[in-house]
Structure 1
């Protein structure tokens, strides 16, 4: 209305005050500059006024709501269609915002890590344990530690010339509440479609092959780290693999003849032969070096007197079947033969230690590199008496194994469920096929090579092998039942296990058996109880009891109790 009154007069002033409308001001400026006449300007202003009035009238009317015949009913919700271009724009905007936040908070940086890291898988575990060794006060107190004798020997068995006792095992004094741990860390690297390699480190008190347990304390000194695995695996397809180096146990076993932590050096081939979805055969072949003769042994001899190559190997083969005979039930059975080559010690040639001043004999290298307790042993050196003192002379000795070990082993594992609860039954039987009592007593003339241990409460070596006090045997077996998840990896998962183990003295190599049962070795029998309970993801607590005593010989009963917390990643 103000614009109409201003423009309605007959005489329009050239110098009218500026209007708030930019278009009117522009028309006034064009008249002032002589670009158009006043009458032309009046016409333009009249037209602009008319269009403005029409726009105001249209704005005053309510907008008509279009009727859409889409079948919608009262209460239905319509979703506005978003064009693809708009969706792409939203996606790109969100992506940029997420990437910016990730960079600011340092939880993702694209292209910051090399692609080879994607081929590496890390893993590890930590176990902290309170452990007690509880000895019976009825145990004998004079068990010779033959493993220690070999490690620190030779030991002079003539008490008159040596003036000291041989190394003796503790068999009566308890060792309660020792704080111990195990730690492992390793990686697997995928080098291609068919090649994988692995390296792992582990804790351990020493370099023994059967345990990575480390006892804490010791003046708070730093703990040792050992190379526990280092292997390369070629796997051209899913049914065959070939592994070389230091590797985990490639065989299907329990803890009867091999310790759970025992790793194998050498080469192993494994193959699967599927017959159907529920049945397959498998086989494992392996060659394992047990010990080598040192190149320079004896170190203080001329080259012509060095020991010949006497390398000892384990050649092993295992064949088995896996049969899923129900939806939640599987039976695995495997027959294995472990051929330990040349583990039996050899009596030396007559050894003139007193007259030559030498400190070695010809077969010292046939003493085992590592042993624990239980196997039958004999004195390796045939020492010639001193001419100056034929009735009283030094007799420094090592011990060797009286038998070879060719072990046949049958292992069974049945996994099934009762309701939703997993169950497992383990049964294993093994026998040393090279065992012969006659060989232990009749190998050498004049009473040489006769066993020095495993006598039934006596050190006498007289009498026939079948009726005398010597006691040994080639048989071992284990039976165990497990209820619950065998490996709890989540909160509230659990298991309980009860088993019985029996190992005669020469059923297998004592150096490779589980250290938790009777502190390792053979010539032991007894119960094993364990329970695990998951307290968080990948974290669980355990309680274990090993109650064992000797199969033959003087009494030696030992109970081991463990309480442990473990975590795995």
Structure 2
């Protein structure tokens, strides 16, 4: 009886082992059919399990003759074995990112999308007493097409950005936006194009190197990069991106120290010119350096100050000659708004003027900001900006242009805002008041704010506005910009903007 019982027990054991084996094989086969596992991975798992089982059997000592084995596997144990096998397979699959049917591929976690949409109503008002636009454009070369006729427009701006983490130390960034390739400071699209479709342009495309482990204090960006400077729109328009490379040093970026010094260096080609026997103009460059310190006392108080030097190379115009009538045509700026002092560089006898910059531009710029959260959650934010063109040389301009140009080389701005720093939640709000004064040759008019005085330099006046959160990341904003000319022909411009903003 004992022998028969042992034989029956051995038969039950083989049956149970076969059930476990088939359960495992069926589970793996089901994972292959659902696409969770590939056939190659499944075969490798089975082979690995078989090899491990053979090794374990080979290492088990043979049973002694006087020992009678009566194996028995209860149903509860069978279920536990099945569950354990399933849990181990799924756990391994999750760890390797192929076993979880609801998981997304690993590379998706390394992508971050950003975007925003702005709808704008804008009204431009020209008070009485302005000089006709003809005198600005013909006599001084200024890009002014209207000084007397009020107008209004509906506009929109759409931006979509992608940041991709390629490795722990390398990332890439892209941004598409509305706008056109002929205006570096505007990304708006005016509605009313006879229902025609809009264009999208590549506004950013860059690589960034930054390692939190090896060099956490250093980052380098190259390509078409976001504005690397601590600045305001007195010098750099909010929509402006830079072509070139920038290096940023922040020794205390990941520390709790209150004082955090920083340094930024940048080199940016402005205009690439292919020289030849008939083209004598040189490539135009912008080099910049900024140093400063950020003070973070606590979560309620912080301040930042930065001193920058921006050096434009080969930016001034060079007159053409009768023997080389087009040699220096490309010394004229590829883009400009209005305000800078210009002169005609066309060759003698040419009746169509070609306007170029009379002065050189080497800017010394001091920017400061203080954020005081003294009435939580209401902040008081104070901003100041001062710029001086130390590259303006009156005698050189006289020799170059034949004009004795008075120096107008200073700009400054002061702004106070009360409310929430950003519009994130429903019922967030902010009101602000600013005054700015920007003389004709204080900065390059091509890259400064394009809304105040409808763009450019040689303007002064006030900005009054407010923002209110309608919902999460959705807000309404309004601004009134009132400006007058500082020198020259009379030109007053009032601009009203009402924006509906949404971001994600």
Q: Give TM-score scaled by structure 2 length.
A: 0.76
Q: After TM superposition, give the deviation of residue 112 of structure 1 in Å.
A: 6.1
Matched, 1:332 2:312: no
**Quick one: distance in 2 between partners of 1:280 and 1:144?**
51
Q: Distance in 1 between matches of 2:299 and 2:179?
A: 42
- What do the CA deviations read for 1:426-480 (whole angstroms, capped 9, x no partner)? 0111100011333322x14xxxx235xxxxxxxxxxxxx4xxxx65500000000
1:374 equivalent in alignment to 2:352? no
CA deviation string 1:475-507 (max 9, x = no partner): 000000011112111101111111001100000
How far apart are the structure 1 equivalents of 2:216 and 2:465?
A: 35
Runs (4+) of structure 1 moved beyond 6 Å? 147-150
SS at match of 1:217: coil
Partner in structure 1 of residue 145 of structure 2: 169
- Given candidates 268, 272, 275, the residue that maps to 1:292 is 272
The answer as to whether partners of 2:423 and 2:468 remain within 8 angstroms in 1 is: yes
| Equivalent pairs, count | 409
For residues 323-357 of structure 1, give each alpha carbon's deviation from its aligned partner in whole angstroms, at most 9, with x where no partner exists. Answer: 123551111010000001110111222348xxxxx
Residue 314 of structure 1 pairs with residue 286 of structure 2: yes
1:255-274 alignment runs, 5 A limit: 255-274=233-252
Distance 1:276 1:206 in 2: 43
Q: 1:186 to 1:168 in 2, by over 3 A?
A: closer
Inter-partner Cα distance in structure 2 for 1:167 and 1:417: 43
Q: For residue 433 of structure 1, what is the aligned residue in structure 2?
A: 390
Residues 210 and 262 in structure 1, CA contact (< 8 A), matched pair in contact too: yes
Structure 1 equivalent of residue 190 of structure 2: 215
Residue 199 of structure 1 and its aligned partner are, at CA, apart by 0.7
Which 5+ residue runs of structure 1 have no aligned equivalent? 1-84, 100-108, 151-165, 296-302, 353-359, 386-393, 452-464
Decide whether aligned partners of structure 1 residues 491 and 148 sit closer, same or farther in structure 2, where only a CA change above 3 A counts: farther
Q: Deviations over 1:34-59 (max 9, x none)?
A: xxxxxxxxxxxxxxxxxxxxxxxxxx
Distance 1:145 1:262, change over 3 A: farther
Structure 1 residue 117, shift from structure 2 partner? 1.4
Cα gap change, 1:314 to 1:367, in 2 (>3 Å): same
Per-residue CA distance 1:145-203 (angstroms, 9 max, x = gap): 669999xxxxxxxxxxxxxxx98621000112x11001000100000110000011000
d(CA) in 2 for partners of 1:167 and 1:313? Answer: 23
The Cα of 1:381 is off from its aligned counterpart by: 2.4
SS at match of 1:518: helix
Residues 540-555 of structure 1: pairs in structure 2 closer than 5 A:
540-555=475-490
Structure having the higher Rg: 1
Matched, 1:450 2:441: no
Partner of 1:485: 420
In the alignment, what sits opposite 2:27? none
For 1:115-514, list aligned pairs within 5 A: 115-143=106-134, 169-176=145-152, 178-204=153-179, 207-236=182-211, 237-274=215-252, 277-294=257-274, 305-308=277-280, 310-351=282-323, 360-383=325-348, 385=349, 394-420=350-376, 421-441=378-398, 443-444=399-400, 449-451=401-403, 465=404, 472-514=407-449
* Partner SS, residue 440 of structure 1: helix
| Secondary structure in 2 matching 1:396 | coil
User: Taking structure 1 as the reference length, what is the TM-score of the superposition?
Assistant: 0.68
Deviation, 1:136, is 1.2
Give the root-mean-square deviation of aligned CA atoms.
Answer: 2.8
SS of the aligned residue for 1:188 comes to strand
Which residue in the other structure is 1:106 paired with? none
User: Within 2, Cα distance between the matches of 1:291 and 1:337?
Assistant: 20
Instruction: Indicate if the aligned counterparts of 1:381 and 1:398 stay in contact, CA closer than 8 A.
Output: yes
Unaligned runs of 5+ in 2: 1-75, 91-99
Q: Is the 8 A contact 1:491 1:534 kept in 2?
A: yes
